[in-house]
Amino acid sequence: MNFGRNNRAWRLAVAGCLFACRVLADDHGDAAVAATALVPDGGAVAGVINDDVDKDWFSFSTLPWVGYSITVATGTLWDSEADLYASDGATCQRATNSAGWATPLTVAWSNSGARTKRHLEIGGFAEFTTGTYSVAVARLNWVDADGDGMFDPWEVEMLGSTNQPAGGDPDNDGFPNIDEYYLQTDPDDADSGLFVVRLTPAATGTVVRWDAAQNGTYRLWSSTNLSSAAPGWTFFGEKTKFDASPAWDELVDPAATNARRQFYRVEFTY
């Protein structure tokens, strides 16, 4: 066959490639790091399962003491699969699908720990299933009559009323009330906050222990020097706490051995 530039078969082949490339372009990322952000109570987001192996990833921020309902409504997609992952994007916490059930598919999850991000992986359930869908996240029990971003039942339980502002610090520990809400520490106890509580030097490194709440994700930094900018802080690990107890977590800093002086910093992220 002649595939010269003016040949009709050549032009059809090019047109076919362009058409195929457009069909295969994906609308949402295929991994947790490329997740599309969903806003709780912010309405539905449309998506397309482009081919039978396409997975669309979403993420949303969850607040302590608050329940969430995730709804996947199918359009032309025959049935759907929705898996809920922890903030690390790797630990599956709930797997469900709509096969055999009337759509839409719903997944409920309540955050009994610290503020954290959740990831959602959506795909078609049956093989060779493609088509359109929409996904929405709703808060089931959110109450914030004073509009300070802190869940009112938590304020009443921990501070006696909703009178305290988000930026207040009645226990003078340096953590404002809203941070204590996110961290799930006690806003009325100066000893309850985000602190490095123990360092255990060993030949293989130093075991760093800090206050940690369930679902919390923490980032750890070390430095040999607090008095100047050099060498600054060195990041050595991130960890998500999955269990409710104990109320601390640990990570080894392998660069710090017995003979060295080290300072540590722990950061809460969500």
CB count in 10 Å sphere of residue 1:
6
Cβ proximity to Ca ion: between 55 and 257 the closer is 55
Min. distance of Cβ 99 from Ca ion in angstroms?
19
Min. distance of Cβ 50 from Ca ion in angstroms?
5
CB count in 10 Å sphere of residue 61:
16
Alpha carbon 243 to chain centroid distance?
16
Kindly list the residues in this chain that would bind Ca ion in the complex (CB under 5 A).
26-28, 48, 50, 54, 56, 144, 146, 148, 150, 152, 169, 171, 173, 175, 192-193
Beta carbons of 27 and 33 less than 8 angstroms apart: no
Cβ proximity to Ca ion: between 49 and 256 the closer is 49
Distance, CA of 155 to CA of 172 (rounded, Å): 17
Cβ proximity to Ca ion: between 189 and 243 the closer is 189
Q: Which amino acid is at 62?
A: T
Cβ proximity to Ca ion: between 55 and 224 the closer is 55
Q: How many helices (H) and strands (E) does the chain have?
A: 3, 15
Q: 8 Cβ partners below 8 Å, 6+ apart?
A: none
Min. distance of Cβ 20 from Ca ion in angstroms?
16
Min. distance of Cβ 232 from Ca ion in angstroms?
28
